[in-house]
């Protein structure tokens, strides 16, 4: 029941942000982007503080890191296997998969996400966000455990604000899905990414002695580390929430390493799956650069669909293990 309420609340905040754009009461897109960054930094800092200030979590940080790394690798491997299976089913190995862009043909496109287009710059951004979490964790370790403050409530409201602005930004993007969905592989990529990631998490259940639902919720964030970790922690398992945060952060790092390699294969849209939910923002410039400009609509659509599914799938799967 708690999971259902959580899903409804998060969906309401996403829809609320989109409605503000529809009724023309939303701030300009640049202001929305700034608000998202502020909310994101606040959320990551509180998440780090909550981890460091919890003696149980702090004492198990090594175990959490191993679980997070294993979950990231399993999610990526499952994603790639599922997308290849999807192409096989659709009969697209030779006639539907996009061709490699020849050197010098890729042109930088404006995406509306504020991305710089440099993979090195995006990696620095990821490291900066990780440093915000580390700073929060350090403060949490240095300060005595807080007993009079409900950190779960604080992170919950910051998360609600972040999703509100995310819904607003999504509506402001003005992306038309009509032309994108004319290609059957456009929908196949996010579906296969979701299925492969979740099955990859399921494979971890016997290895780490986790309930099947908890193991699948670990990898159902699809790289959106700032959301999935908080969702699981607020559902009553801060240790697993911290592992989910690291799993999705590691997945994003693996995406930066594998996208250039996957883009050179016979099926370059594997690079979109590797990006997961971040294919609509953080890893989009790298995907565009490696795969080609024609990949931008499919990449954005895949990341958007996966991002919209995270608030539903993570609590639902976690509830299966309760």
For each of the chain's 322 residues, which pLDDT tens digit applies? 454 676 678 778 878 988 999 899 999 989 988 888 888 888 878 877 877 787 766 666 677 889 989 999 999 999 999 999 998 887 755 554 444 444 333 333 333 333 334 556 655 666 777 788 889 889 988 888 877 777 778 878 887 888 788 788 778 877 555 655 567 778 899 999 999 999 999 999 999 999 999 999 999 999 887 788 888 888 888 888 888 988 888 888 788 888 888 988 888 889 999 999 988 877 887 787 788 777 878 888 888 889 889 988 999 999 887 5
Comparing CA positions, the residue from 190, 247, 197 lying closest to residue 77 is 197
Q: What is the pLDDT of residue 270?
A: 94
d(CA 143, CA 148): 13
Q: What is the pLDDT of residue 119?
A: 54
Q: What is the pLDDT of residue 181?
A: 58
Q: Is the dihedral of CA 7, 10, 13, 19 positive or negative?
A: negative
d(CA 266, CA 245): 32
Q: Where are the domains of the chain?
A: 2-320
Q: What is the pLDDT of residue 176?
A: 55
d(CA 48, CA 39): 14
Q: Is 114 helix (H, G, I), strand (E, B) or coil?
A: coil
Tokens, residue 176: 């038309």
d(CA 322, CA 140): 28
Q: What is the pLDDT of residue 293?
A: 72
| Count of residues in the chain | 322
């Amino acid at each position: 029941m708690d999971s259902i309420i959580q899903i409804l609340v998060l969906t309401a905040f996403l829809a609320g942000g989109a409605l503000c754009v529809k009724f023309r009461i939303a701030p300009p897109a640049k202001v929305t982007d700034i608000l998202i960054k502020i909310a994101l930094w606040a959320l990551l800092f509180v998440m780090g503080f909550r981890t460091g200030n919890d003696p149980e979590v702090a004492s198990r940080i090594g175990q959490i890191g191993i679980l997070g790394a294993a979950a990231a690798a399993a999610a990526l491997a499952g994603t790639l296997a599922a997308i290849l299976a999807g192409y096989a089913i659709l009969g697209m190995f030779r006639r539907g998969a996009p061709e490699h862009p020849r050197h010098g043909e890729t042109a930088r496109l404006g995406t509306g996400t504020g991305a710089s287009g440099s993979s090195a710059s995006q990696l620095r951004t990821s490291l900066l966000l990780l440093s915000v979490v580390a700073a929060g964790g350090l403060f949490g370790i240095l300060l005595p455990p807080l007993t009079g403050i409900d950190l779960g409530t604080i992170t919950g409201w910051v998360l609600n604000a972040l999703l509100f602005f995310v819904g607003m930004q999504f509506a402001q993007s003005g992306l038309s899905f009509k032309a994108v969905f004319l290609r059957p592989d456009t929908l196949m990529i996010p579906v296969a990414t979701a299925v492969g990631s979740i099955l990859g998490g399921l494979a971890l259940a016997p290895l780490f002695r986790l309930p099947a639902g908890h193991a699948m919720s670990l990898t159902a964030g699809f790289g959106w580390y700032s959301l999935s970790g908080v969702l699981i922690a607020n559902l009553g398992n801060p240790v697993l929430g911290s592992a989910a945060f690291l799993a999705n952060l590691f997945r994003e790092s693996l995406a930066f390493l594998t996208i250039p390699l996957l883009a050179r294969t016979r099926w370059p849209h594997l690079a979109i799956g590797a990006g997961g939910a971040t294919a609509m923002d953080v890893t989009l410039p790298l995907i565009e650069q490696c795969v080609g400009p024609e990949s931008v609509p499919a990449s954005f659509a895949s990341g958007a669909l996966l991002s919209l599914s995270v608030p539903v799938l993570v609590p639902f799967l976690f509830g299966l293990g309760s």
